[in-house]
A and B are shown apart, each in its own frame.
Chain A
Amino acid sequence: MLKIRDLNVHYGGIHALKGVTLDVPESKIITLVGANGAGKSTLLRTISALVTATSGSIKFTGHEILGMESHDIVQDGIAMAPEGRKVFVNLSVSDNLLMGAYNRKNAGEIKTDMEWIYSIFPRLEERMSQQAGTLSGGEQQMLAVGRALMSRPKLLMLDEPSLGLAPLLISEVFRVIGQIHDEGTTILLIEQNAMAALNIADYGYVMETGKIVLEGTGRDLLNDERVKKAYLGESI
Protein backbone atom coordinates (compact mmCIF):
# COMPACT_ATOMS: atom_id res chain seq x y z
CA MET A 1 0.00 0.00 0.00
CA LEU A 2 2.78 2.40 0.95
CA LYS A 3 6.17 1.90 -0.66
CA ILE A 4 9.04 4.15 0.38
CA ARG A 5 12.20 3.87 -1.68
CA ASP A 6 15.61 5.37 -0.95
CA LEU A 7 14.18 8.42 0.77
CA ASN A 8 16.58 11.21 1.70
CA VAL A 9 15.67 14.21 3.80
CA HIS A 10 17.88 17.09 4.81
CA TYR A 11 16.72 19.16 7.69
CA GLY A 12 18.50 22.36 8.66
CA GLY A 13 21.89 21.09 7.55
CA ILE A 14 21.36 17.59 8.99
CA HIS A 15 20.98 14.54 6.81
CA ALA A 16 17.95 13.29 8.75
CA LEU A 17 16.87 10.36 6.59
CA LYS A 18 19.57 8.48 4.72
CA GLY A 19 18.11 6.32 1.98
CA VAL A 20 15.15 4.89 3.87
CA THR A 21 13.28 2.03 2.22
CA LEU A 22 10.15 0.74 3.89
CA ASP A 23 6.94 -1.05 2.94
CA VAL A 24 3.53 -0.94 4.53
CA PRO A 25 1.38 -3.70 3.02
CA GLU A 26 -2.39 -3.36 3.13
CA SER A 27 -4.22 -4.30 6.35
CA LYS A 28 -1.03 -4.86 8.34
CA ILE A 29 0.40 -3.12 11.38
CA ILE A 30 3.93 -2.02 10.64
CA THR A 31 6.03 -0.51 13.35
CA LEU A 32 9.13 1.60 13.28
CA VAL A 33 11.14 1.62 16.48
CA GLY A 34 14.30 3.42 17.42
CA ALA A 35 15.80 5.84 19.86
CA ASN A 36 14.86 9.47 20.20
CA GLY A 37 16.22 11.49 17.29
CA ALA A 38 16.67 8.49 15.00
CA GLY A 39 14.45 10.12 12.38
CA LYS A 40 11.20 8.25 12.96
CA SER A 41 9.04 11.34 13.24
CA THR A 42 10.83 12.91 10.29
CA LEU A 43 9.78 9.93 8.19
CA LEU A 44 6.11 10.35 9.10
CA ARG A 45 6.31 14.10 8.60
CA THR A 46 7.81 13.53 5.17
CA ILE A 47 5.01 11.16 4.22
CA SER A 48 2.51 13.84 5.30
CA ALA A 49 4.47 16.47 3.33
CA LEU A 50 5.14 18.60 6.40
CA VAL A 51 8.81 18.08 5.56
CA THR A 52 10.21 18.14 2.03
CA ALA A 53 12.35 15.26 0.83
CA THR A 54 15.57 15.77 -1.09
CA SER A 55 15.28 12.60 -3.14
CA GLY A 56 13.58 9.23 -3.24
CA SER A 57 10.07 8.04 -3.79
CA ILE A 58 6.93 7.50 -1.72
CA LYS A 59 4.20 5.59 -3.52
CA PHE A 60 0.76 5.18 -2.02
CA THR A 61 -1.70 2.77 -3.62
CA GLY A 62 0.44 2.84 -6.74
CA HIS A 63 0.96 6.55 -7.31
CA GLU A 64 3.72 8.91 -6.26
CA ILE A 65 2.76 11.21 -3.40
CA LEU A 66 6.10 12.91 -2.94
CA GLY A 67 5.57 16.53 -4.01
CA MET A 68 1.87 16.54 -3.21
CA GLU A 69 0.52 18.96 -0.60
CA SER A 70 -0.40 17.81 2.90
CA HIS A 71 -4.14 18.29 2.44
CA ASP A 72 -4.18 16.28 -0.79
CA ILE A 73 -2.35 13.46 0.95
CA VAL A 74 -5.00 13.38 3.66
CA GLN A 75 -7.63 13.35 0.92
CA ASP A 76 -5.79 10.41 -0.62
CA GLY A 77 -6.27 8.42 2.57
CA ILE A 78 -3.27 8.92 4.86
CA ALA A 79 -3.97 10.36 8.29
CA MET A 80 -1.59 11.01 11.14
CA ALA A 81 -1.95 11.39 14.86
CA PRO A 82 1.12 13.54 15.46
CA GLU A 83 3.65 13.27 18.22
CA GLY A 84 2.61 15.15 21.32
CA ARG A 85 -1.09 14.70 20.47
CA LYS A 86 -1.51 18.27 19.21
CA VAL A 87 -5.23 18.43 19.83
CA PHE A 88 -6.84 21.82 19.29
CA VAL A 89 -7.06 22.83 22.94
CA ASN A 90 -9.34 25.79 22.20
CA LEU A 91 -11.96 23.61 20.49
CA SER A 92 -14.42 21.19 22.01
CA VAL A 93 -13.85 17.45 21.77
CA SER A 94 -16.55 17.06 19.13
CA ASP A 95 -15.20 20.01 17.11
CA ASN A 96 -11.77 18.37 17.18
CA LEU A 97 -13.31 15.24 15.71
CA LEU A 98 -15.14 17.30 13.09
CA MET A 99 -11.80 18.86 12.08
CA GLY A 100 -10.58 15.36 11.35
CA ALA A 101 -13.46 14.99 8.90
CA TYR A 102 -12.75 18.36 7.26
CA ASN A 103 -12.78 17.16 3.67
CA ARG A 104 -15.78 14.89 3.98
CA LYS A 105 -19.14 16.10 2.79
CA ASN A 106 -21.66 13.46 3.82
CA ALA A 107 -23.00 14.65 7.18
CA GLY A 108 -24.73 11.33 7.85
CA GLU A 109 -21.53 9.34 7.43
CA ILE A 110 -19.59 11.78 9.58
CA LYS A 111 -22.17 11.33 12.33
CA THR A 112 -21.97 7.54 12.08
CA ASP A 113 -18.19 7.69 12.30
CA MET A 114 -18.32 9.99 15.30
CA GLU A 115 -20.50 7.44 17.03
CA TRP A 116 -17.99 4.78 16.05
CA ILE A 117 -15.16 6.83 17.61
CA TYR A 118 -17.24 7.33 20.75
CA SER A 119 -17.82 3.59 20.92
CA ILE A 120 -14.05 3.00 20.80
CA PHE A 121 -13.37 5.82 23.28
CA PRO A 122 -16.38 6.17 25.59
CA ARG A 123 -14.45 8.76 27.62
CA LEU A 124 -14.57 11.11 24.68
CA GLU A 125 -18.32 10.86 24.45
CA GLU A 126 -18.66 11.82 28.10
CA ARG A 127 -16.54 14.89 27.38
CA MET A 128 -17.72 15.76 23.89
CA SER A 129 -18.61 19.38 24.64
CA GLN A 130 -15.63 20.02 26.89
CA GLN A 131 -12.66 21.99 25.57
CA ALA A 132 -9.94 19.58 24.49
CA GLY A 133 -7.41 21.46 26.61
CA THR A 134 -9.19 20.30 29.75
CA LEU A 135 -8.67 16.60 28.94
CA SER A 136 -6.01 14.48 30.59
CA GLY A 137 -2.98 13.38 28.58
CA GLY A 138 -4.47 9.96 27.92
CA GLU A 139 -7.79 11.39 26.81
CA GLN A 140 -6.00 13.84 24.51
CA GLN A 141 -4.15 10.94 22.96
CA MET A 142 -7.43 9.13 22.36
CA LEU A 143 -8.82 12.30 20.83
CA ALA A 144 -5.79 12.63 18.56
CA VAL A 145 -6.25 9.06 17.35
CA GLY A 146 -10.01 9.49 16.99
CA ARG A 147 -9.53 12.74 15.09
CA ALA A 148 -7.15 11.05 12.66
CA LEU A 149 -9.66 8.24 12.14
CA MET A 150 -12.39 10.75 11.28
CA SER A 151 -10.89 11.21 7.82
CA ARG A 152 -11.60 7.50 7.21
CA PRO A 153 -7.97 6.85 6.33
CA LYS A 154 -6.74 3.84 4.43
CA LEU A 155 -3.47 4.26 6.30
CA LEU A 156 -3.30 5.55 9.85
CA MET A 157 0.08 6.78 11.07
CA LEU A 158 0.59 7.04 14.81
CA ASP A 159 3.57 8.94 16.17
CA GLU A 160 4.45 7.82 19.71
CA PRO A 161 0.89 7.26 20.91
CA SER A 162 2.11 5.96 24.28
CA LEU A 163 4.44 8.86 25.01
CA GLY A 164 3.98 10.28 28.48
CA LEU A 165 1.10 7.99 29.42
CA ALA A 166 0.73 5.91 32.57
CA PRO A 167 1.35 2.15 32.06
CA LEU A 168 -2.34 1.30 32.38
CA LEU A 169 -3.22 3.80 29.67
CA ILE A 170 -0.43 2.53 27.45
CA SER A 171 -1.96 -0.93 27.36
CA GLU A 172 -5.33 0.68 26.67
CA VAL A 173 -3.86 2.60 23.73
CA PHE A 174 -2.33 -0.57 22.30
CA ARG A 175 -5.60 -2.44 22.78
CA VAL A 176 -7.35 0.28 20.76
CA ILE A 177 -4.70 0.18 18.04
CA GLY A 178 -5.38 -3.55 17.73
CA GLN A 179 -9.11 -2.90 17.57
CA ILE A 180 -8.79 -0.24 14.87
CA HIS A 181 -6.60 -2.60 12.87
CA ASP A 182 -9.10 -5.43 13.27
CA GLU A 183 -11.77 -3.16 11.85
CA GLY A 184 -9.76 -2.82 8.65
CA THR A 185 -7.32 0.09 8.88
CA THR A 186 -3.67 -0.31 7.91
CA ILE A 187 -1.38 1.15 10.57
CA LEU A 188 2.12 2.55 10.60
CA LEU A 189 3.14 2.89 14.21
CA ILE A 190 6.15 4.73 15.58
CA GLU A 191 7.19 3.89 19.09
CA GLN A 192 9.98 4.19 21.59
CA ASN A 193 8.16 1.51 23.56
CA ALA A 194 9.67 -1.18 21.33
CA MET A 195 8.37 -4.10 23.35
CA ALA A 196 4.70 -3.21 23.08
CA ALA A 197 5.01 -2.07 19.48
CA LEU A 198 6.77 -5.19 18.23
CA ASN A 199 4.30 -7.36 20.07
CA ILE A 200 1.38 -5.93 18.19
CA ALA A 201 3.06 -5.46 14.79
CA ASP A 202 3.11 -7.80 11.82
CA TYR A 203 6.44 -6.45 10.69
CA GLY A 204 8.92 -4.06 12.20
CA TYR A 205 11.78 -1.78 11.25
CA VAL A 206 14.53 -0.51 13.51
CA MET A 207 15.92 2.92 12.78
CA GLU A 208 19.16 4.47 13.91
CA THR A 209 20.48 7.91 12.97
CA GLY A 210 18.35 8.16 9.86
CA LYS A 211 18.89 4.64 8.57
CA ILE A 212 16.94 1.40 8.73
CA VAL A 213 19.40 -0.94 10.42
CA LEU A 214 17.19 -3.99 10.98
CA GLU A 215 13.87 -5.31 9.82
CA GLY A 216 11.84 -8.43 10.33
CA THR A 217 8.60 -9.78 11.71
CA GLY A 218 7.66 -8.47 15.11
CA ARG A 219 8.49 -11.81 16.69
CA ASP A 220 11.92 -12.05 15.04
CA LEU A 221 12.87 -8.58 16.17
CA LEU A 222 11.71 -9.27 19.70
CA ASN A 223 14.07 -12.22 19.78
CA ASP A 224 16.94 -10.44 18.09
CA GLU A 225 19.91 -10.01 20.41
CA ARG A 226 20.78 -6.56 19.12
CA VAL A 227 17.23 -5.31 19.56
CA LYS A 228 17.01 -6.83 23.01
CA LYS A 229 20.20 -5.12 24.02
CA ALA A 230 19.55 -1.73 22.50
CA TYR A 231 15.81 -1.24 23.03
CA LEU A 232 14.14 -3.83 25.15
CA GLY A 233 16.61 -3.77 28.02
CA GLU A 234 15.59 -0.26 28.89
CA SER A 235 11.92 -0.32 28.10
CA ILE A 236 10.93 -3.40 30.11
Chain B
Amino acid sequence: MDLAQFSQQLINGISLGSLYGIIAIGYTMVYGILRLINFAHGDVMMMGCFFAYYGILMFSLPWQFSFIIAIALTAILGIIIDRGAYRPVRKAPRISALITAIGVSFLLENAGIVVFGGRQKAFFRPEMFDSIITFHGIRFLNLAIYVPIITLTLLGIILLIIYRTKVGRAMRCISHDMETTRLMGVDVNRVIAITFAMGSAAAAAGGILWALKYPQINPLMGIIPGLKAFVAAVLGGIGNVGGAMIGGLILGLAEIMLVAIRPDLSGYRDAIAFGILIIILLFRPTGLFGEKLPE
Protein backbone atom coordinates (compact mmCIF):
# COMPACT_ATOMS: atom_id res chain seq x y z
CA MET B 1 0.00 0.00 0.00
CA ASP B 2 1.60 3.26 -1.08
CA LEU B 3 1.27 6.61 0.65
CA ALA B 4 -1.59 7.78 -1.56
CA GLN B 5 -3.60 4.66 -0.85
CA PHE B 6 -2.81 4.88 2.82
CA SER B 7 -3.92 8.52 2.98
CA GLN B 8 -7.07 7.61 1.13
CA GLN B 9 -7.88 4.89 3.64
CA LEU B 10 -6.94 7.17 6.51
CA ILE B 11 -9.50 9.71 5.35
CA ASN B 12 -12.14 7.01 4.94
CA GLY B 13 -11.33 5.59 8.35
CA ILE B 14 -11.49 8.91 10.15
CA SER B 15 -14.72 9.81 8.45
CA LEU B 16 -16.36 6.49 9.36
CA GLY B 17 -14.83 6.49 12.83
CA SER B 18 -16.05 9.95 13.72
CA LEU B 19 -19.57 8.78 12.83
CA TYR B 20 -19.25 5.84 15.21
CA GLY B 21 -17.88 8.30 17.74
CA ILE B 22 -20.70 10.82 17.56
CA ILE B 23 -23.28 8.06 17.93
CA ALA B 24 -21.27 6.51 20.77
CA ILE B 25 -21.53 9.77 22.74
CA GLY B 26 -25.23 9.16 23.34
CA TYR B 27 -24.57 5.67 24.69
CA THR B 28 -21.84 6.85 26.95
CA MET B 29 -23.71 9.88 28.33
CA VAL B 30 -26.79 7.88 29.23
CA TYR B 31 -24.67 5.12 30.70
CA GLY B 32 -22.66 7.61 32.71
CA ILE B 33 -25.79 8.94 34.36
CA LEU B 34 -28.15 5.98 34.58
CA ARG B 35 -25.83 2.97 34.23
CA LEU B 36 -28.18 1.99 31.43
CA ILE B 37 -27.16 0.74 27.99
CA ASN B 38 -29.78 2.40 25.84
CA PHE B 39 -30.08 -0.27 23.18
CA ALA B 40 -32.63 1.84 21.35
CA HIS B 41 -29.95 4.44 20.60
CA GLY B 42 -29.19 3.15 17.08
CA ASP B 43 -32.90 3.26 16.31
CA VAL B 44 -33.09 6.82 17.61
CA MET B 45 -30.42 7.61 15.04
CA MET B 46 -32.55 5.96 12.36
CA MET B 47 -35.53 8.07 13.40
CA GLY B 48 -33.39 11.17 12.97
CA CYS B 49 -32.69 10.14 9.38
CA PHE B 50 -36.38 9.62 8.62
CA PHE B 51 -37.35 12.95 10.19
CA ALA B 52 -34.81 14.62 7.90
CA TYR B 53 -35.99 12.58 4.90
CA TYR B 54 -39.65 13.50 5.37
CA GLY B 55 -38.78 17.09 6.15
CA ILE B 56 -37.33 17.41 2.66
CA LEU B 57 -39.73 15.10 0.84
CA MET B 58 -43.11 15.89 2.36
CA PHE B 59 -42.68 19.41 3.62
CA SER B 60 -40.24 20.51 0.91
CA LEU B 61 -38.05 22.19 3.48
CA PRO B 62 -34.59 23.37 2.44
CA TRP B 63 -32.17 20.66 3.55
CA GLN B 64 -30.51 22.85 6.19
CA PHE B 65 -33.83 23.46 7.95
CA SER B 66 -34.91 19.92 7.54
CA PHE B 67 -31.71 18.64 9.17
CA ILE B 68 -31.95 21.05 12.08
CA ILE B 69 -35.62 20.29 12.67
CA ALA B 70 -34.87 16.56 12.47
CA ILE B 71 -32.18 16.93 15.10
CA ALA B 72 -34.56 18.87 17.34
CA LEU B 73 -37.36 16.32 16.85
CA THR B 74 -34.98 13.48 17.65
CA ALA B 75 -33.93 15.25 20.84
CA ILE B 76 -37.62 15.44 21.79
CA LEU B 77 -38.03 11.77 20.89
CA GLY B 78 -35.17 11.00 23.29
CA ILE B 79 -36.98 12.87 26.06
CA ILE B 80 -40.23 11.04 25.28
CA ILE B 81 -38.48 7.64 25.36
CA ASP B 82 -36.94 8.47 28.72
CA ARG B 83 -40.21 9.77 30.12
CA GLY B 84 -42.39 7.00 28.76
CA ALA B 85 -40.14 3.96 28.99
CA TYR B 86 -37.18 4.45 31.31
CA ARG B 87 -38.48 6.73 34.04
CA PRO B 88 -41.20 4.31 35.16
CA VAL B 89 -38.53 1.64 35.75
CA ARG B 90 -35.95 3.99 37.27
CA LYS B 91 -36.18 2.39 40.70
CA ALA B 92 -36.52 -1.15 39.39
CA PRO B 93 -33.49 -3.45 39.12
CA ARG B 94 -31.13 -2.49 36.34
CA ILE B 95 -31.98 -5.54 34.27
CA SER B 96 -35.57 -4.28 33.93
CA ALA B 97 -34.33 -1.06 32.36
CA LEU B 98 -32.08 -3.03 30.01
CA ILE B 99 -34.99 -5.20 28.85
CA THR B 100 -37.08 -2.06 28.47
CA ALA B 101 -34.36 -0.61 26.24
CA ILE B 102 -34.45 -3.69 24.01
CA GLY B 103 -38.23 -3.33 23.90
CA VAL B 104 -38.00 0.32 22.83
CA SER B 105 -35.52 -0.71 20.15
CA PHE B 106 -37.93 -3.31 18.71
CA LEU B 107 -40.79 -0.85 18.97
CA LEU B 108 -38.98 1.82 16.95
CA GLU B 109 -37.75 -0.63 14.33
CA ASN B 110 -41.12 -2.26 13.79
CA ALA B 111 -43.11 0.93 14.05
CA GLY B 112 -40.68 2.26 11.45
CA ILE B 113 -41.44 -0.64 9.13
CA VAL B 114 -45.18 -0.07 9.55
CA VAL B 115 -45.12 3.70 9.17
CA PHE B 116 -42.22 4.33 6.78
CA GLY B 117 -42.28 0.97 5.00
CA GLY B 118 -39.47 -1.56 4.89
CA ARG B 119 -38.01 -0.66 1.52
CA GLN B 120 -34.80 1.31 1.08
CA LYS B 121 -35.36 5.00 0.47
CA ALA B 122 -32.88 7.22 -1.29
CA PHE B 123 -31.61 9.96 0.95
CA PHE B 124 -31.09 13.38 -0.59
CA ARG B 125 -27.48 14.48 -0.74
CA PRO B 126 -27.17 18.28 -1.07
CA GLU B 127 -24.74 19.54 -3.69
CA MET B 128 -22.59 21.02 -0.97
CA PHE B 129 -21.54 17.54 0.10
CA ASP B 130 -21.42 16.04 -3.35
CA SER B 131 -18.18 17.11 -4.97
CA ILE B 132 -15.14 14.94 -5.44
CA ILE B 133 -11.82 16.21 -4.22
CA THR B 134 -8.72 15.03 -6.07
CA PHE B 135 -5.43 15.61 -4.34
CA HIS B 136 -2.13 13.99 -5.29
CA GLY B 137 -3.88 10.93 -6.60
CA ILE B 138 -6.27 10.64 -3.68
CA ARG B 139 -9.94 10.90 -4.55
CA PHE B 140 -12.68 11.37 -2.02
CA LEU B 141 -16.05 12.95 -1.50
CA ASN B 142 -15.75 16.34 0.22
CA LEU B 143 -18.25 14.96 2.74
CA ALA B 144 -15.33 12.97 4.17
CA ILE B 145 -13.83 16.30 5.25
CA TYR B 146 -17.09 17.73 6.58
CA VAL B 147 -17.90 14.68 8.68
CA PRO B 148 -14.98 14.88 11.12
CA ILE B 149 -15.25 18.68 11.28
CA ILE B 150 -18.95 18.57 12.13
CA THR B 151 -18.64 15.70 14.60
CA LEU B 152 -15.65 17.24 16.39
CA THR B 153 -17.52 20.56 16.62
CA LEU B 154 -20.49 18.78 18.15
CA LEU B 155 -18.18 16.93 20.53
CA GLY B 156 -16.71 20.28 21.56
CA ILE B 157 -20.16 21.73 22.22
CA ILE B 158 -21.17 18.69 24.26
CA LEU B 159 -17.96 18.81 26.31
CA LEU B 160 -18.51 22.52 26.93
CA ILE B 161 -22.00 21.81 28.23
CA ILE B 162 -20.78 18.99 30.46
CA TYR B 163 -17.75 20.81 31.89
CA ARG B 164 -18.70 24.47 31.76
CA THR B 165 -22.39 24.75 32.60
CA LYS B 166 -24.44 24.25 35.71
CA VAL B 167 -26.54 21.48 34.20
CA GLY B 168 -23.34 19.77 33.06
CA ARG B 169 -21.97 19.94 36.56
CA ALA B 170 -25.20 18.34 37.77
CA MET B 171 -24.74 15.57 35.18
CA ARG B 172 -21.27 14.83 36.51
CA CYS B 173 -22.64 14.79 40.05
CA ILE B 174 -25.50 12.45 39.15
CA SER B 175 -23.09 10.03 37.51
CA HIS B 176 -21.11 10.03 40.74
CA ASP B 177 -23.94 9.93 43.28
CA MET B 178 -27.55 10.45 42.23
CA GLU B 179 -29.00 10.53 45.72
CA THR B 180 -26.66 13.19 47.05
CA THR B 181 -27.29 15.23 43.91
CA ARG B 182 -30.98 15.26 44.83
CA LEU B 183 -29.99 16.72 48.21
CA MET B 184 -28.45 19.66 46.36
CA GLY B 185 -31.89 20.58 45.10
CA VAL B 186 -31.27 19.23 41.62
CA ASP B 187 -34.34 18.04 39.74
CA VAL B 188 -32.60 14.84 38.68
CA ASN B 189 -35.30 13.77 36.22
CA ARG B 190 -34.94 17.04 34.38
CA VAL B 191 -31.17 16.63 34.08
CA ILE B 192 -31.65 13.07 32.83
CA ALA B 193 -34.13 14.35 30.23
CA ILE B 194 -31.55 16.90 29.06
CA THR B 195 -28.97 14.12 28.83
CA PHE B 196 -31.29 12.06 26.63
CA ALA B 197 -32.01 15.11 24.50
CA MET B 198 -28.30 15.79 23.96
CA GLY B 199 -27.43 12.15 23.23
CA SER B 200 -30.34 11.81 20.83
CA ALA B 201 -29.53 15.05 19.05
CA ALA B 202 -25.95 13.84 18.58
CA ALA B 203 -27.28 10.52 17.27
CA ALA B 204 -29.54 12.35 14.81
CA ALA B 205 -26.65 14.46 13.56
CA GLY B 206 -24.55 11.31 13.23
CA GLY B 207 -27.40 9.52 11.49
CA ILE B 208 -27.94 12.29 8.99
CA LEU B 209 -24.22 12.35 8.18
CA TRP B 210 -24.37 8.57 7.89
CA ALA B 211 -27.25 8.87 5.45
CA LEU B 212 -25.32 11.46 3.44
CA LYS B 213 -22.38 9.06 3.28
CA TYR B 214 -24.45 5.94 2.50
CA PRO B 215 -27.53 7.59 0.99
CA GLN B 216 -30.05 4.84 1.53
CA ILE B 217 -32.21 4.63 4.60
CA ASN B 218 -34.51 1.98 6.02
CA PRO B 219 -36.03 1.32 9.44
CA LEU B 220 -33.38 -1.26 10.35
CA MET B 221 -30.43 0.91 9.35
CA GLY B 222 -29.69 1.85 12.98
CA ILE B 223 -28.89 -1.63 14.18
CA ILE B 224 -25.34 -2.12 12.92
CA PRO B 225 -24.10 1.46 13.42
CA GLY B 226 -25.76 1.35 16.83
CA LEU B 227 -23.97 -1.83 17.84
CA LYS B 228 -20.66 -0.56 16.53
CA ALA B 229 -21.07 2.75 18.32
CA PHE B 230 -21.76 0.74 21.45
CA VAL B 231 -18.45 -1.09 20.92
CA ALA B 232 -16.77 2.29 20.40
CA ALA B 233 -18.23 3.55 23.67
CA VAL B 234 -16.99 0.48 25.54
CA LEU B 235 -13.60 0.74 23.84
CA GLY B 236 -13.22 4.37 24.88
CA GLY B 237 -14.36 3.62 28.41
CA ILE B 238 -18.11 3.82 28.78
CA GLY B 239 -19.13 6.96 30.63
CA ASN B 240 -16.27 8.96 29.10
CA VAL B 241 -17.49 11.30 26.34
CA GLY B 242 -14.08 12.09 24.84
CA GLY B 243 -13.21 8.40 25.05
CA ALA B 244 -16.30 7.53 23.00
CA MET B 245 -15.05 9.66 20.11
CA ILE B 246 -11.56 8.17 20.30
CA GLY B 247 -13.05 4.66 20.52
CA GLY B 248 -15.09 5.43 17.42
CA LEU B 249 -12.05 6.66 15.51
CA ILE B 250 -10.03 3.58 16.45
CA LEU B 251 -12.85 1.30 15.42
CA GLY B 252 -13.44 3.08 12.13
CA LEU B 253 -9.75 3.08 11.23
CA ALA B 254 -9.36 -0.58 12.21
CA GLU B 255 -12.23 -1.61 9.98
CA ILE B 256 -11.14 0.39 6.97
CA MET B 257 -7.47 -0.55 7.30
CA LEU B 258 -8.19 -4.26 7.62
CA VAL B 259 -10.20 -4.21 4.44
CA ALA B 260 -7.53 -2.12 2.70
CA ILE B 261 -4.67 -4.41 3.72
CA ARG B 262 -6.49 -7.69 3.27
CA PRO B 263 -9.34 -7.17 0.79
CA ASP B 264 -10.01 -10.91 0.93
CA LEU B 265 -11.08 -10.44 4.58
CA SER B 266 -13.59 -7.70 3.78
CA GLY B 267 -16.39 -10.10 4.64
CA TYR B 268 -15.11 -10.05 8.22
CA ARG B 269 -15.43 -6.30 8.51
CA ASP B 270 -18.24 -6.37 11.04
CA ALA B 271 -16.46 -9.09 12.98
CA ILE B 272 -13.65 -6.66 13.83
CA ALA B 273 -15.89 -4.51 15.98
CA PHE B 274 -17.20 -7.44 17.92
CA GLY B 275 -13.74 -9.02 18.14
CA ILE B 276 -12.51 -5.77 19.70
CA LEU B 277 -15.48 -5.84 22.09
CA ILE B 278 -14.61 -9.36 23.23
CA ILE B 279 -10.94 -8.49 23.70
CA ILE B 280 -11.75 -5.31 25.63
CA LEU B 281 -14.22 -7.10 27.88
CA LEU B 282 -11.67 -9.82 28.57
CA PHE B 283 -8.60 -7.70 29.22
CA ARG B 284 -9.69 -4.18 30.05
CA PRO B 285 -13.40 -4.03 30.84
CA THR B 286 -13.24 -0.35 31.77
CA GLY B 287 -12.03 0.53 28.29
CA LEU B 288 -9.10 2.71 27.30
CA PHE B 289 -10.09 5.82 29.22
CA GLY B 290 -12.68 4.41 31.60
CA GLU B 291 -12.67 5.31 35.23
CA LYS B 292 -11.93 2.57 37.67
CA LEU B 293 -15.00 0.65 38.68
CA PRO B 294 -16.82 2.39 41.53
CA GLU B 295 -16.51 0.96 45.02
Q: Which residues 63-88 of B have a CB within 8 angstroms of A?
A: none
Q: Is A102 touching B183 in the complex (CB atoms < 8 A)? A: no
Residues of B with C-beta under 8 A to A148? 183
Q: Is A90 touching B176 in the complex (CB atoms < 8 A)? A: yes
Assuming A71-B188, A86-B177, is B169 touching A91 (CB within 8 A)? yes
Q: How large is the interface on B (under 10, 10 to 19, 20 to 34, 35 or more residues)?
A: 10 to 19
Q: Interface digits, B163-187 against A, CB 8 Å rule (1 contact, 0 not)?
A: 0001001101100110111111111
Q: Does A202 contact B (CB under 8 A)?
A: no
Q: Is B182 touching A102 in the complex (CB atoms < 8 A)? A: no
Q: Is A99 touching B173 in the complex (CB atoms < 8 A)? A: yes
For the complex, give the distance between the alpha carbons of A103 and B182 in Å.
Answer: 11
For the complex, give the distance between the alpha carbons of A90 and B185 in Å.
Answer: 19
Q: Is B176 touching A99 in the complex (CB atoms < 8 A)? A: no
Q: Which residues 119-151 of A have a CB within 8 angstroms of B?
A: 147-148, 151
Query: Which residue of chain B lies nearest to A49 when distances are taken between CB atoms in the complex?
Result: B182
Q: Is B179 touching A88 in the complex (CB atoms < 8 A)? A: no
Query: Which residue of chain A lies nearest to B183 when distances are taken between CB atoms in the complex?
Result: A80
For the complex, give the distance between the alpha carbons of A144 and B157 in Å.
Answer: 31
Q: Is B183 touching A50 in the complex (CB atoms < 8 A)? A: yes
For the complex, give the distance between the alpha carbons of A234 and B288 in Å.
Answer: 50
**Count of A-B contacts judged by CB separation below 8 Å:** 58
Q: Which of B169, B183, B185, B187 contacts A95 (CB 8 A)?
A: B169
Smallest distance from the beta carbon of A222 to chain B beta carbons, Å?
31
For the complex, give the distance between the alpha carbons of A102 and B170 in Å.
Answer: 8
Assuming A50-B183, A80-B183, A82-B183, is B176 touching A88 (CB within 8 A)? yes
Assuming A88-B173, A102-B166, is B184 touching A69 (CB within 8 A)? no
Q: Does A79 contact B (CB under 8 A)?
A: yes
Assuming A86-B177, A88-B177, A90-B176, is B169 touching A103 (CB within 8 A)? no
Query: Which residue of chain A lies nearest to B174 when distances are taken between CB atoms in the complex?
Result: A88
Q: Which residues 180-199 of B have a CB within 8 angstroms of A?
A: 180-188
Residues of B participating in the A interface, judged by any CB pair closer than 8 Å: 166, 169-170, 172-173, 176-177, 179-188
Contacts A71-B182, A147-B184 supplied; 20 other A-B pairs, CB < 8 Å: A48-B182, A70-B185, A71-B185, A71-B186, A74-B185, A79-B183, A86-B179, A88-B172, A90-B172, A95-B169, A98-B166, A99-B169, A99-B170, A99-B184, A102-B170, A102-B184, A102-B186, A148-B183, A151-B184, A151-B185
